[in-house]
Amino acid sequence: MFEEQEVKIIKKENLHSEVQTVIDDDYRLVQMCATKTDKGLDVDYTFDKEYKFLDLRVELPADKLELPSISGISFPAFLYENELHDLFGIKISGIAIDFAGKFYRKDEEAPFNNNTEIQEK
Amino acid sequence: MAKRTVIPFGPHHPVLPEPVHLDLVLEDETVVEAIPNVGFIHRGLEMLCKKKPFQDIVLVAERICGICSMIHGVGFSQGVEKVMDIDVPPRAEYLRAFWGELSRVHSHILWLGLAADAIGFESLFMHSWRVREMVLDIFEETTGGRVIFDVCKIGGVRKDIENEILKNRFSQQIDKIEEEYSKLAKVFTEDYTVCHRWSNVGVLTKEDAHKLGAVGPTVRGSGISQDMRTLKYGAYEHLDFEPVVENSCDCYARTVVRVKEVFQSIDLMRQVISKIPDGEVETKVKGTPKGEYFSRVEQPRGEVVYYVKGDGTKNLDRFRVRTPTFANIPPLLQMLGGCDLADVPAIVISIDPCISCTER
C-alpha cells in the first residue's frame, strides 16, 4: 500500500506565510531537499500531520538561488538549510544556526549544482 | 549569572562509536546550550548515485548504515517500485518484513548494550551482545551476510527462505532469542541502578517532540504514537501492529520503548512465519523510472525518507535520503538544555545516534 502524497507548488514570496499556515495547523517538518531542473532548482519542504503527507515546492531560477530561512518558524529547518547551502549553493538568509558553509567538510563548492565530476577510485 | 564555559564534546568520545561534535555551553555544571557539528565524515552517497544505474543504488542504500541496512534497501526499492508501478510478489514483501524486523531486533539489542556500557554496566553490555549474536546467526544463514545483506532488489528480494526452515528451525531460534532476551529486558526495565540513572534525565515533552520533528523511539518515548509501519507499506498491510508508546518523556521511556519493540518485532516475525504465502520472490523489472515519490519507512531509529525522481533514463535525477538521526538532532539539543554535564553521555546515546546514517 502506498500513501497519497500532495505536492503543492508555491511562490517564493509566499514561503513564510505558507509554512506558517502549515505549522499552525500542527504539521511537523519532515525534511527539506533540492533537485536540479532545467530552469534552476526545485526546493521541497515536506510536512506530515498524523500520516498526512504534504510537500511545498518552491521553484528557484538558476540565476537567483536565494531563499529566506524558515528556521524562525520551524527550528529543525536550520540543519536542512545549511545542507542546501553547502550542497546546492542556495543563499539562505536568517538561519537560526548558520554554519556559513562549514556544515559539511568537502572539497567542492555546491557539488550538486556545479556539474562536479564524480571521481571513482 | 555564573561564568559561562564552552566544553567540546566529541568528535571522539567513549560513548560515541562515530564522530559527532557538540559545543556545550555551561553555567557551572549545567548545560545551557548545545550547538551540534556534523559533517566530519560526509560520504557524498547521494552524489555518488547520480551516475549509478537505478538498480545498483539499492546496494549503495544498504551501505548507508551498518545496522539497519535491510530497511534502507527496502525504503529505496519501494520508492522506485511506486514510480515504475511494479507489483512486488507477496512472498517478497513478507521476507522483507521478516528481515526488517530481525534488523530492528539486532539494532535495539545492540543499542541496549551500548546504553548499558554508557552507564558503566559492563556485564549487561556483554550479555546484550551475546543475544545479538543469535540474531546475526539467522542473518548469516539466510542472507550470507552478518551486517550488509544485499538481499533486497527492485521488484522483490534476491533470496528465498524455505518454508520448512522458517516454520521449524527459525521459529525455535526466535523462541530461544526471546527466552534469553526476556532476562535482559527485566534488568533494563526493573533494575534500580538502571531506572535511577535514566529516569527524569533528558526530558523531551510531547509538545517539543512534535514541534522539533522527533522520530522513532525518541518521539514514542514522549507519548506520541508515530510509526511509519502504520502506513501499512509492504507486508505490514497484513500484520497486526500497534506502536509502542511511553509517556514519561525521559531516557528511561526511550529505553522501555526499545525494550518492548524487540518483543513486538519478535511477534511480527512470528506473524510473518505463520502467514507467508508461497510464490515467486521477485518481479522482472522492465523500463526505467519516470516520476517522483517520497518513500517513508520505519527504521529502528525512526522514520527514514527516500526521495526518488527519475526522468525516464537509467540514472535517477535525484536520490535523496533523510535519515532518522538527522531528524533527531534538534530534539537532542532541546533535551541537553538544562541538564547536568554528567548526564550528557546518557542523553546523547538515548536517541541512538547513527552518524553513519547522518553522514550519508
In this predicted structure, what is the pLDDT of residue A99?
Answer: 87
Domain count, chain B: 1
Lowest pLDDT segment from B6-15, B167-176, B215-224, B311-320: B6-15
**Residue in chain A nearest B87 by alpha carbon:** A1
Residue B17, pLDDT above cutoff 80: no
Residues of the domain holding B207: 44-354
In this predicted structure, what is the pLDDT of residue A54?
Answer: 95
Q: Tell me the count of A-B CB pairs closer than 8 A.
A: 84
Q: Which residue is associated with the grid cell 564524480?
A: A118
Residue B39 lies in a domain: no
Residue B355, pLDDT above cutoff 90: no
| CA–CA dist B315, B328 (Å, integer) | 31
Residue B8 lies in a domain: no
In this predicted structure, what is the pLDDT of residue A116?
Answer: 64
Residue B259 lies in a domain: yes
Q: Please list every residue in chain A whose beta carbon sits closer than 8 Å to the beta carbon of residue B42.
A: 104-106
Residue to mutate among A20, A27, A30, with most B CBs inside 10 A, is: A30
Lowest pLDDT segment from A15-19, B65-69, B129-133, B319-323: B65-69
Instruction: Report pLDDT digits (tens) over B325-343.
Output: 999 999 999 999 999 999 9
Task: For residue A79, give the nearest of B230, B294, B326 by CB distance.
Answer: B326
The set of residues, in sequence order, having a beta carbon less than 8 Å from that of A94 and lying 6+ positions away, is: A68, A69, A71, A72
| Structural domains for chain A | 5-105 (3.30.460.80)
Q: List the CATH number of the domain containing B300.
A: 1.10.645.10
Instruction: Report pLDDT digits (tens) over B78-88.
Output: 999 999 999 99
Please report, in angstroms and rounded to a whole number, the separation of the first and last CA atoms in chain B: 41
Residue B168 lies in a domain: yes
The set of residues, in sequence order, having a beta carbon less than 8 Å from that of B283 and lying 6+ positions away, is: B86, B87, B88, B89, B155, B156
In this predicted structure, what is the pLDDT of residue A10?
Answer: 94
Residue B360 lies in a domain: no
Q: ipTM of this model?
A: 0.91
Q: What is the DSSP letter of B49?
A: G
User: Average pLDDT of B162-173?
Assistant: 91
pTM, two decimal places: 0.93
Classify burial at B14, counting beta carbons within 10 Å of its beta carbon; exposed 0-12, middle 13-18, buried 19 or more.
exposed
- The neighbour count for residue B207, using CB atoms within 10 Å, is 11
Distance from CA of B85 to the nearest CA of A (A): 11
Mean pLDDT of chain A: 89
Residue A121, pLDDT above cutoff 60: no
Find, among B83, B81, B108, the residue nearest to B92 by Cα: B81
Residue to mutate among B23, B86, B294, with most A CBs inside 10 A, is: B294
Q: Please list every residue in chain B whose beta carbon sits closer than 8 Å to the beta carbon of residue A116.
A: 47
Task: Provide, rounded to the nearest whole percent, the portion of chain A with pLDDT above 70.
Answer: 94
Contacts of A18-27 with C-beta under 8 Å, sequence gap 24+, read: A18/A56, A19/A45, A19/A56, A19/A70, A19/A73, A19/A74, A20/A73, A22/A47, A22/A54, A22/A56, A23/A73, A23/A74, A25/A49, A26/B210, A27/A54
